[in-house]
Structure 1
Amino acid sequence: MKQSFTFYLTHWVIKLKGLKKLFSEDPINFKKIRKEDVFKPKGSFFKRHIKRRFQVLKTEVTEVRHSDNLNKLIVFVHGGAFISGPAKHHWETIKTIVKATDYTIWLCNYPKAPEHKIIEISENIEAVYDQATKEFDSENIILLGDSVGGTLVTALTQRLIKNNKSLPIQIQLVSPVMDASLSNPDIDRYDVIDPMLSKKGIFSAKKMCAGDVSLKDPIISPIYGSFKGFPETILFLAENDIMYPDGIELKDILQKEEVSFKVIHGENMPHIWPFLPIMKESSISLQQLISLLN
């Protein structure tokens, strides 16, 4: 497929920002990466449509919606390698979804590593979901996560099933991180072509987050857990992404477990491409994501 001019422009911006270099450091420079964090988005849209902010344990939840009578919810767990976020592209994604749908969105600014570890982070995500089920019917809840947000959404779903709790109607995973150990040998081949991420820095971030937990524990590497009984799952898998090999393995697992799922392949796309600004291919894929919301 021929790529758009904006595809090449986006790659130029990624290179200019030095993201590959940042994610090639060990230890990863989380303080420098956090300089891109945005906690209070600017602009008239958010001034009008952020209805409330509230705390669940150590997570700040920002509620964005365009009406007072919306009964459907997206719990948005953002990515950022467990060490950063949310970023501007997360807020812009929320803006696009809210404009196009009748969903309320809860953006979860959860505690980050290395100050906080995976057990505490996971407890926060589960507490947010528990609060969501008090305010919305579970059949009207969708979980959306990109990168390690996909890790947290998937691991949460596994725990919900294990503990016989009500499930969301759907989960959407955008370039999800499924294995914090990065032990799939194919990752080395994708490391060469990935314009954004590098195995070395990502592995450093995962170690910062894991604490005393094994990197192959399902709480941080859900690919080692069970997918039996999962709700409908939508996968956005970028083909020029070090996470792609584990995404393909996840697809095979979902098929084996007879989970209803759909895969959107991003041909020649980088990590989390539906959420990237400017790029025509991003806009098309984000519209696909919106069209697949139940």
Structure 2
Amino acid sequence: MSEHQAEDRKQTSAGSASSTSSITLTRRHNRSTRTFIIHTLVRPFRYFILKPGKPWPADSPQLTPHKSCSKTCSVNERLVASIYIYDIEPRKSKTTTSKRSTNAAAAHTSSGIKRRIYYIAGGSWKKPPSIEHWQLAAKMASAVPHTAVSVISVPLAPRETAPTAFPKLLAMYEQVMIESKERGEYVIWAGDSSGANIVLGLIGEALRVGRPGPNGTGPRPLLAPSALFLICPSVDANRDNPDIAKLERLDPVLKADDSKKFAVAWSGDWSVNDERISPALEGRPGDHVVQLLHERGVKVHGVTAGYDILSPDGIKLRDRLEKEGVQGKWLHWDKQMHCFPLAWIYGLPESKKGLFWILDVLSEEE
């Protein structure tokens, strides 16, 4: 057991999941003075944090990974089904270090890579990965043994919306999953905030392909990942959970009205109740994403935060996963802001411990 896991065991509350539960829940409650000060300073400026910038062009944007990634990792760009992907691997692996490639076959094929994390960064469906996302990806690649992280450059709102982006993402998903199977990789799809929302919607869509129709026929099923990892996911675009209003004055980052507006912009011609936009609404008929994840044996790990307006619906998702029998490990940390593990680069103690928890869970997935 690592020192990070030992710390988790010590801080897990008596209210955590029982031995009969499919979800192992770790609860933490503390907030350091340093984190309290940061929360207080950030709150008045959250409008500027979320302020929309200049719209990105349609299609998957070609990105420039943050230079910090190259300190510990090699980065390779490839184009798969019109979607740019950035493969990040620790430098010690014997892979190409070229920065640009349009040949999907140029993806990393080092025999040392056993685990691949396909990562979709949050950003209110309209922003590309930030420095925090690039550094998290590089940290996962360098700290989790035998791991590559493939950052997906998702088409962004408002010039792309879910109805135009999902067919492209689904075509990319099918191809990269076949490639990972051929390489014998253990596959995890991960994301934070709106990125976690896209992951849930995309995996649900993928797992519906090939399900038997009324006559027992259907197209070939798509491959399923082994696990998902969701950091502070958006799971209900309506933002009408009554607990959201109670948390809004405490959330240092998000505002419910703005968050819903961004989700509606992403939904395009689809209803916000479409499962690809709100992938964990209750009361759905069969083939909903939670049922599909259970049927295919996909684990779902996650993180929620007590001072995050998205957490009430994230907790409802966690409860539905547990009720359906989906396996997973979840961390809930009271008094922490939305996507707090990403703030580890600023030295916040709870953010660093949240990161360590994520790294330990990923290390155990194989």
CA contact (8 A) 1:110 1:124 kept: no
| 1:245 equivalent in structure 2 | 312
Following superposition of structure 1 onto structure 2, how do residues 71-150 of structure 1 map, counting pairs within 5 Å? 71-101=114-144, 102-137=146-181, 140-150=186-196
CA contact (8 A) 2:208 2:292 kept: no
- 1:121 is displaced (CA, Å) by 2.4
Find the aligned partners of 2:164 and 2:30 in 1 and give their Cα distance: 44
Change in Cα spacing, 1:100 to 1:13, as seen in structure 2 (3 Å) is farther
Higher mean displacement: 137-146 or 73-82: 137-146
Once the two structures are superposed, residues 115-174 of structure 1 have per-residue CA deviations (whole angstroms, 9 ceiling, x without a partner) of 100122223332332232232128610011100111111112212221132211110000
| 1:11 equivalent in structure 2 | 39
CA contact (8 A) 2:30 2:334 kept: no
CA contact (8 A) 1:53 1:60 kept: yes
- 1:20 is displaced (CA, Å) by 4.5
Following superposition of structure 1 onto structure 2, how do residues 151-162 of structure 1 map, counting pairs within 5 Å? 151-162=197-208
CA contact (8 A) 1:50 1:62 kept: no
CA contact (8 A) 2:234 2:310 kept: yes
Runs of 4+ in 1 over 6 A off after TM superposition: none
Following superposition of structure 1 onto structure 2, how do residues 246-261 of structure 1 map, counting pairs within 5 Å? 246-261=313-328
Query: TM-score under structure 2 normalisation?
Result: 0.72
Change in Cα spacing, 1:49 to 1:154, as seen in structure 2 (3 Å) is same
Find the aligned partners of 2:83 and 2:36 in 1 and give their Cα distance: 36
Unmatched segments (≥5 aa) in structure 1: 24-28
CA contact (8 A) 1:206 1:215 kept: yes
Higher mean displacement: 48-57 or 142-151: 48-57
| 2:6 equivalent in structure 1 | none
Query: TM-score under structure 1 normalisation?
Result: 0.89
Find the aligned partners of 2:34 and 2:139 in 1 and give their Cα distance: 19
- 1:9 is displaced (CA, Å) by 4.3
Find the aligned partners of 1:233 and 1:281 in 2 and give their Cα distance: 22
Find the aligned partners of 1:161 and 1:5 in 2 and give their Cα distance: 45
Change in Cα spacing, 1:122 to 1:47, as seen in structure 2 (3 Å) is farther
Change in Cα spacing, 1:268 to 1:55, as seen in structure 2 (3 Å) is same
| 1:166 equivalent in structure 2 | 223
| 2:285 equivalent in structure 1 | none
Once the two structures are superposed, residues 164-188 of structure 1 have per-residue CA deviations (whole angstroms, 9 ceiling, x without a partner) of 3221111000000001121222211
**Residue 282 (structure 2) pairs with residue 215 (structure 1):** no
Q: What letter matches 1:245 in structure 2?
A: P
**Residue 289 (structure 2) pairs with residue 226 (structure 1):** yes
CA contact (8 A) 1:20 1:195 kept: no
CA contact (8 A) 1:118 1:211 kept: yes
Find the aligned partners of 2:355 and 2:177 in 1 and give their Cα distance: 26
Q: What letter matches 2:148 in structure 1?
A: T
Change in Cα spacing, 1:117 to 1:154, as seen in structure 2 (3 Å) is same
CA contact (8 A) 2:73 2:138 kept: no
| 1:292 equivalent in structure 2 | 361
Find the aligned partners of 1:57 and 1:182 in 2 and give their Cα distance: 33
**Residue 252 (structure 2) pairs with residue 195 (structure 1):** yes
Unmatched segments (≥5 aa) in structure 2: 1-28, 57-62, 95-109, 210-220, 282-287
- 1:47 is displaced (CA, Å) by 6.3
Once the two structures are superposed, residues 225-279 of structure 1 have per-residue CA deviations (whole angstroms, 9 ceiling, x without a partner) of 3311411111101111010110111012111211112220012110011111321
- 1:214 is displaced (CA, Å) by 0.1
Q: What letter matches 2:158 in structure 1?
A: P
Change in Cα spacing, 1:13 to 1:143, as seen in structure 2 (3 Å) is farther
Q: What letter matches 1:268 in structure 2?
A: K
**Residue 54 (structure 2) pairs with residue 46 (structure 1):** no
